Amino acid sequence: MFQIISTGRRAALTLCIVAAPATAGPFDGRYFPWRYTGDDAAIAEHCSGEDLPAADVIIDDQFYYGPGGKYRCTLEAPVNVRDMDAQLYDGQCDGGDREWTMRIFMLKHQNGALEVLAQLPAEDGTLRRLSSYLVPCPAG
């Protein structure tokens, strides 16, 4: 059975749906490569900036990596990994004048660090392994 909604109620319902904030993904945040741990200047360089920083960034199921966030992958079809704080995604990626798909595995460690594993096509057509151990950028 269908119910007719008055224009005023429909507008209010639409506003509620549109105004709802996007939900944060389980790995949202800014990260820097662990090798810079202890190097405050390098961490500041990787974690600062109003635009996309040099750090890897995950925002609302978008994964940016590479210098200045050159590459972007939309994280889709998440699969939870049993007994782990981890998910496997299908990544629809673009950057550097090309598009590709890849599987992306993300694992959050107890210390807040994020491990990212993926296999991506290189410019020459071969597959290259992306393996990153990332540490959350300091707050502030």
Spatial distance between the Cα atoms of 107 and 58, rounded to a whole number of angstroms: 13
Q: Is 33 part of any domain?
A: yes
The whole-number pLDDT of residue 84 equals 94
Q: Is 2 part of any domain?
A: no
Q: By residue range, what is the domain housing residue 107?
A: 24-136
Does residue 133 register a pLDDT over 60? yes
**For the chain, percent of residues with pLDDT exceeding 70:** 73
Does residue 13 register a pLDDT over 70? no
Q: What is the pTM of this model?
A: 0.70
Q: Is 47 part of any domain?
A: yes
Q: Is 94 part of any domain?
A: yes
Does residue 105 register a pLDDT over 60? yes
CB atoms closer than 10 angstroms to residue 104: 23
Does residue 140 register a pLDDT over 80? no
Residue whose pair of structure tokens reads 């599987």 in the numeric block: 103
Q: Is 14 part of any domain?
A: no
Q: Is 73 part of any domain?
A: yes
Average pLDDT, whole number, for the chain?
74
List Cα–Cα distances, 49 to 44, 57, 69, 99, 125, in angstroms. Answer: 9, 12, 12, 26, 33
**pLDDT digits over 29-86, tens only?**
888 887 778 888 877 777 776 554 455 677 777 887 766 677 888 999 999 999 999 9
Q: Is 7 part of any domain?
A: no
Spatial distance between the Cα atoms of 113 and 31, rounded to a whole number of angstroms: 8
In the chain the beta strands, taken as DSSP E runs, fall at 29-33, 56-59, 62-65, 71-80, 86-95, 98-108, 114-121, 127-136
The whole-number pLDDT of residue 51 equals 52
Q: Is 17 part of any domain?
A: no
Indicate the number of domains in the chain.
1
The whole-number pLDDT of residue 137 equals 83
